[in-house]
Amino acid sequence: MKSKLVLIPLPGIGHRRPAIELAKRLVSNNNHLSITVIIIPSINDVTGESAYISSLLTTSQDRLRYEAISIEDQTTADLQQPTQDYIKKQKPKVRDIVLMRIVDDPTRRLVGFVVDMFCFSMIDVADEFNVPTYMFYTSNTTFLGITLHLQLMHDEGKYDVSELEDSVTELEFPCLTLPYPVKCLPYLFTWKRWLTLFLAQARCFRRMKGILVNTVAELEPIALKMFNNNGDHLPQVYPIGPVLHLENGFNEEDEILRWLDEQPDKSVVFLCFGSMGGFNEEQTREIAVALDRSGYKFLWSLRRAPSNILTERPGDFENLEEVFPVGLLNKGKVIGWAPQVAVLAKPAIGGFVTHCGWNSILESLWFGVPMVTWPLHSEQKVNAFEMVEELGLAVEIRKYFRGDLLAGETETVTAEEIEKAIKSVMEQEDNDVRVRVKEMAEKCHVAVTEDGSSHVALQKFIQDVVENI
């Protein structure tokens, strides 16, 4: 009998699109496996995801189907609550879809759920159908290891990371070779309200049958070793990345892409900070001065910071000339939403100033573009530490970033710091960072080919799911 999986992504471009790419990769690697993707509506559609979802629904096939929960079923209160609570309220709707569309199919056996790292409450629904739950972890193995280690230390009474005294400056983690600075811990761990949530999340992670991680074995060997040793009885980890949505949806005749085609190789610095990355006028002015002084051409995806990032999303500046040095706009391009994949693929891009979202890091490595790290929120400080300190694949603007975008507390980074980092990554053709990034790009490409490490891990996952080990 053929096997069927239920895949439940988190709403939002950074989670849903990699999950869809994973589903496509799974069905293409096994003719006896089919997948139903249950699409939960976005809390707010800030990146045009509704059009993307509509396109998915029209492409449903026998082995890869899309079932959307209606946005009309959501109340205003639903759309204004914390993500985890919002996802939890979708459980009855997910259960109904599974009952009506999947369980009664006599030709296919339901063998498991694959849920996003923030959809862990769906493990309850999988338990009702007596099937295992696997997780798709859209961040990296290092952050997964840190999360589980902090949860273990907390539950064993060894320490509460939100109460560490100033005298504790570094922590040792089994997923890192270097000690991690306490002052660089994400706000998610140091604020009691968020820590409680993430501890509960980590406990659910341990209940998973296995965890698919969007990473490459050659990129994070130390972190993966933590799970291979399995002294803490951790779930099986499958490093199946990079899982990337490389279809940018932009015509190559787009003005920005044509402009990049006209520039010399590695001559343009690209600045992009994700869907939540916006800056106030003071910080925008510092970046602009840095770009002006650096002398490099640039492409800058610039958004204006809202008054409250938890209730609003970044917007556009009305008059850039008020905060820009005279003549700066003659040296580069300023845009709103950026076709990031299409831009990074262009030979003209010599460096990438990034907020260190994991998808952005993987895309940068895939195209062999060295990074300048500017973490803004969530796990991005960990990502930056891993890229700079552990792996030498990026250049830092500063060693310690105080505050967090989600807390509404961020320090202003000076033009001098930004200029220095940009020059460091752009000036030398054969600098160590650029060489290492090129080598890692090659490893990432090999990993997803037949007999590559990620391909082998994906096949192992499929085998384990079908056999329900």
Domain residue spans of the chain: 2-246+447-467, 255-444
- pLDDT band at residue 309 using 50, 70 and 90 as cut-offs: low
Give the integer Cα–Cα distance in Å for 468 and 210: 11
What's the CATH architecture for 255-444?
3-Layer(aba) Sandwich (3.40)
pTM: 0.93
Q: What is the pLDDT of residues 51-63, one digit of tens each?
A: 777 777 777 788 9
Q: What is the CATH number assigned to the segment(s) 2-246+447-467?
A: 3.40.50.2000
Q: Confirm if 125 and 159 have CB atoms less than 8 A apart.
A: no
Q: What is the pLDDT of residues 145-157, one digit of tens each?
A: 999 999 999 999 9
Instruction: List the Cα angle 272/273/278 in 5-degree steps.
Output: 115
Lowest mean pLDDT among 144-148, 333-337, 453-457: 333-337
Q: Confirm if 333 and 298 have CB atoms less than 8 A apart.
A: yes
Instruction: List the Cα angle 49/54/59 in 5-degree steps.
Output: 125
pLDDT score for 84: 82
C-alpha 308: how far from its chain's center?
22
Mean pLDDT on 276-294: 93
Q: Which of 36, 373, 362, 402 is nearest to 213 (CA)?
A: 362
255-444 and 2-246+447-467 share a CATH fold: yes
Mean pLDDT on 363-387: 96
Instruction: List the Cα angle 23/26/30 in 5-degree steps.
Output: 145
- pLDDT band at residue 44 using 50, 70 and 90 as cut-offs: low
Q: In what order do the strands lie in the sheet with 349-354?
A: 332-335, 297-301, 268-272, 349-354, 371-373, 394-396
pLDDT score for 264: 96
Q: Is the pLDDT of residue 193 over 90?
A: no
User: Residue written as tokens 């890869």?
Assistant: 64
Q: Is the pLDDT of residue 439 over 70?
A: yes
Give the integer Cα–Cα distance in Å for 191 and 162: 6
Alpha carbons within 13 angstroms on the beta-carbon side of residue 367 total 23
Pair type for strands 409-410 and 403-404 = antiparallel
pLDDT score for 79: 45
Give the integer Cα–Cα distance in Å for 270 and 333: 10
Give the integer Cα–Cα distance in Å for 47 and 17: 12
Lowest mean pLDDT among 37-41, 128-132, 319-323, 333-337: 319-323
